[in-house]
Amino acid sequence: MPHLVELQHCHRVYDNGRIIALNDVSFSVARGDFIAITGPSGSGKSTLLDLLCGLEEPSAGDVVFDGATVRDRADWARIRAERIGFVFQSFCLIPSLTAAENIELAMLWQGISAHARRDRVAELLERLGLGARGRQHPMQLSGGERQRVAIARALANSPELIVADEPTGSLDSRSSADIIGLLEGLQRDGAITVVIVTHDRAIAERCDRRVELVDGRIVSDQRRQTV
Ligand SMILES: Nc1ncnc2c1ncn2[C@@H]1O[C@H](COP(=O)(O)OP(=O)(O)O)[C@@H](O)[C@H]1O
Ligand SMILES: [Mg+2]
């Protein structure tokens, strides 16, 4: 079976080449991986994550998703809608919608009946320990709860891959541990592949594989020793 996603000799430059965000990065995500991308600020972590899901295009090199080189933006849009879930530091929930509506929104263009959408939202709220919070608006929720709503939204279409850019960057250490525990559980029980950008050491240490970037290059890629 091919890797889930693969970067092949990817470069990404900005500002007519004056800024080199990624410099000849080759990197494969295997199915079931639970990866932390670490490195100093500006080292290219977000750029790498954005290339993995086609939010950015490489300036040179290829991105291969499930065995097929993807270049077309419409192909990427479909892959993102159907196969990838996103979690952001700032949650990116819509403030005027309830928690339940934020989750349901992800399913609106997927040809799922209103009835099935509501069932799925209820299931996800329950699964993420938000059973009673569905009618609340984001402002009425704690940071940890908001991030759980965002994870529920990311899971709505049963993605194969979850990408998370600093998902705990706005949370206290207890909520952070809670969120990472949830992502760990998804990867373990649901065979979902998870790629997290983080500069939090404690979080990186809980991942099975740690990839470190410095100045746009991968300087280490290590699997955790299993005991
Ligand atoms: N849209 C952009 N335009 C110009 N420079 C950018 C853009 N996005 C990222 N960069 C630059 O690319 C480098 C890597 O950025 P980024 O991937 O966001 O790093 P990290 O997530 O590790 O902090 C930085 O020097 C950043 O300033
Ligand atoms: Mg970043």
On the question of pLDDT at 190 being above 90, the answer is no
Q: How large is the average pLDDT for residues 25-50? A: 96
3-state SS assignment for residue 208: coil
Give the model's pLDDT for residue 226: 65
Residue 120 parent element (H or E):
helix 114-127
Residues with CB under 5 A from ligand 2 (ion): 45-46
On the question of pLDDT at 109 being above 90, the answer is no
| Calpha distance 221→189 (Å, rounded) | 24
Q: How many residues are listed for the chain in this entry?
A: 227
| Calpha distance 203→201 (Å, rounded) | 5
On the question of pLDDT at 227 being above 70, the answer is no
46 lines ligand 1 (CB under 6 A): yes
Confidence grade of residue 94 (pLDDT, cut at 50, 70, 90): very high
Confidence grade of residue 223 (pLDDT, cut at 50, 70, 90): very high
68 lines ligand 1 (CB under 6 A): no
Q: How large is the average pLDDT for residues 164-190? A: 89
| Calpha distance 171→6 (Å, rounded) | 30
Q: Which one has a higher pLDDT value, 1 or 31?
A: 31
Rounded to the nearest integer, the mean pLDDT of the chain is 94
Q: Which residue CA neighbors atom 20 of ligand 1 most closely?
A: 42
195 CA distance to ligand 1 centroid (A)?
18
pLDDT digits (tens, 9 = 90+) for 55-80: 999 999 999 999 999 999 999 999 99
Query: Is residue 129 within 8 Å of residue 145, measured between CB atoms?
Result: no
Give the model's pLDDT for residue 5: 98
Query: Is residue 39 within 8 Å of residue 45, measured between CB atoms?
Result: yes
Up-side HSE of residue 67: CA atoms within 13 Å toward CB? 3
pLDDT digits (tens, 9 = 90+) for 146-168: 999 999 999 999 999 999 999 99
Token representation of residue 199: 């500069």
Range of the domain at 16: 5-223
| Calpha distance 32→9 (Å, rounded) | 23
- Residue 125 maps to which CATH number? 3.40.50.300
On the question of pLDDT at 38 being above 70, the answer is yes
Q: Which one has a higher pLDDT value, 7 or 111?
A: 7
Ligand nearest to the Cα of 215, by number: 1
Looking at the structure of the chain, the number of domains it has is: 1
| Calpha distance 60→102 (Å, rounded) | 36
Q: How large is the average pLDDT for residues 86-105? A: 95
